[in-house]
Chain A
């Protein structure tokens, strides 16, 4: 962070009005919950919830050769990204460690939009600017957009209701338009494992749109629910599950690294793949009841040696059991390996399980395609 000033979301006054408990997060004052972490979590799994994501950062890159240049700094392959589509990708250091995980959206042949983590806005921006090719223009629009994520099985119905003249873009798709001088951007993406979309509007429009969704039945949800939702589906949190000392390969996210093209960190990833991993990010679930697992708790082998620690942990509101993730030596990383979690000196038995912990409920509907 360039300074210690806590920034306010453009939606802050509305959060307070809605009863949100505000806490500092990544340099921003954000609602951690409104009424109940549990209720908010379940609303997203069963109906629809809305989150303020105005703290996320937005950059736009424009100019001849934008794709070519940026492709050398991001792990996923932008050449595979069609106009109007998004891809999950990493910005890595030379050692292959994660600087940030982000989403790249293609607006045009040489116009790419990036959504980055709140805590990394300044660092990402200078990392990119310091290497920027002549003729390219990179702008930080993070303070110009208010953002909200509408997530849950009923999210599409809310979209149709509030944007009757537009069609929700397909998974990972993006729709950008201007209406009455107001800019809108909708992406079919999210951080909860449910269907849903993320809407960005200019800062001045933020409160009224958030309100419209709440009035249409979306439950306001805080960062607490956002964290438990993403952990149930094993989406990593940068700064916890990802760090400059860990590569996407160790995190099990090699799918988002196009090793056939050159990019910063690629050689380290190739070497790591060739030499084999020493540690891997695994999902760990309690066996039976116990004090909820949390980040930084030690993970022990059954013979009593510490083999790692949890990078994330929570009591899962959907599964009603303790879940977490952590890097473990490969010999302990196999599904079915039993371990202990140290909670204030007391050991709770747990087991390495397949990720994710939770999968979206698929709605049964009559097939219309079998003719």
Chain B
């Protein structure tokens, strides 16, 4: 699986897809490969107000728990409840059905601080 060009990325291995002032957030294929065997995803509550880089979700593999950070400041507007029953979607379709939450971004100019696919590729040493 590649690093899709239409997405933005953080150094913490999250991808961000922009639609108006709402972004969809998940973890990258690289991250799910590193974590492997995801067995539980703890999602934030809808309506939660988060600041940038605040830990708001947790992805757990058989062996370890990893924090997921808010890539930008904003409010959670939706979470992927399918992950409760099938956390493995993060492994099988990280950039699609394995999305985690959507947030309404406070300041759209923050988007500029994210990496594009080329920058992320070099970030993971690809």
On A, residues with C-beta under 8 Å from B are 32-33, 35-38, 41, 224, 227-228, 289-292, 294, 314-315, 317, 344, 346
Contact = CB atoms under 8 A, between A and B. Distances in A.
Contact of A224 (B40, B60, B63, B84): B63
B60 A292 contact: yes
Nearest to A38: B37
A74 to B, nearest CB: 33
28 contacts: A33-B36, A33-B63, A36-B36, A36-B37, A37-B37, A37-B61, A37-B63, A38-B37, A38-B62, A224-B62, A224-B63, A227-B63, A289-B40, A289-B84, A290-B40, A291-B40, A291-B42, A291-B58, A292-B39, A292-B60, A294-B65, A314-B62, A314-B63, A315-B39, A315-B60, A315-B62, A344-B42, A344-B58
Consensus secondary structure, chain A interface: mixed
A291 B63 contact: no
B36 A32 contact: no
Interface in B34-93: 36-37, 39-40, 42, 58, 60-63, 65, 84
A368 B44 CA distance: 60
Contacts of A315: 39-40, 60, 62
Max chain A CB contacts within 10 Å: which of B36, B39, B61, B62? B62
Nearest to B88: A38
Consensus secondary structure, chain B interface: strand
A228 B58 CA distance: 21
Size class of the contact patch on chain B: 10 to 19
Interface of B: 36-37, 39-40, 42, 58, 60-63, 65, 84
Contacts of B65: 291-292, 294
Nearest to A35: B36
A227 B62 CA distance: 10
Contacts of A224: 62-63
A224 B65 CA distance: 14
B58 A37 contact: no
Contacts of A32: 63
Contact of B62 (A35, A289, A317): A317
A294 B36 CA distance: 17
Contacts of B42: 291, 344, 346
Contacts of B40: 289-292, 315
Contacts of B60: 291-292, 315
Contacts of B62: 37-38, 41, 224, 228, 292, 314-315, 317
Nearest to B34: A21
Given A291-B65, A292-B62, A37 B36 contact: yes
A36 B88 CA distance: 13
A32 B36 CA distance: 12
Max chain A CB contacts within 10 Å: which of B37, B60, B63? B63
Contacts of B61: 37
A43 to B, nearest CB: 13
A38 B40 CA distance: 14
Given A38-B36, A227-B63, A291-B58, 15 more contacts: A32-B63, A37-B37, A37-B61, A37-B62, A41-B62, A228-B62, A289-B40, A289-B84, A292-B40, A292-B60, A292-B62, A314-B62, A314-B63, A315-B60, A317-B37
A41 B63 CA distance: 12
A32 B35 CA distance: 12
Contacts of B58: 291, 344
Contacts of B36: 33, 35-38
Contacts of B39: 292, 315
B110 to A, nearest CB: 27
Contacts of A290: 40
B125 to A, nearest CB: 15
Can you list the 4 inter-chain pairs with the closest CB atoms, starting with the nearest?
Answer: A38-B37, A37-B62, A315-B39, A224-B63
Contacts of A36: 36-37
A286 B116 CA distance: 41
Nearest to B63: A224
A37 B38 CA distance: 10
A31 B62 CA distance: 15
A352 B39 CA distance: 22
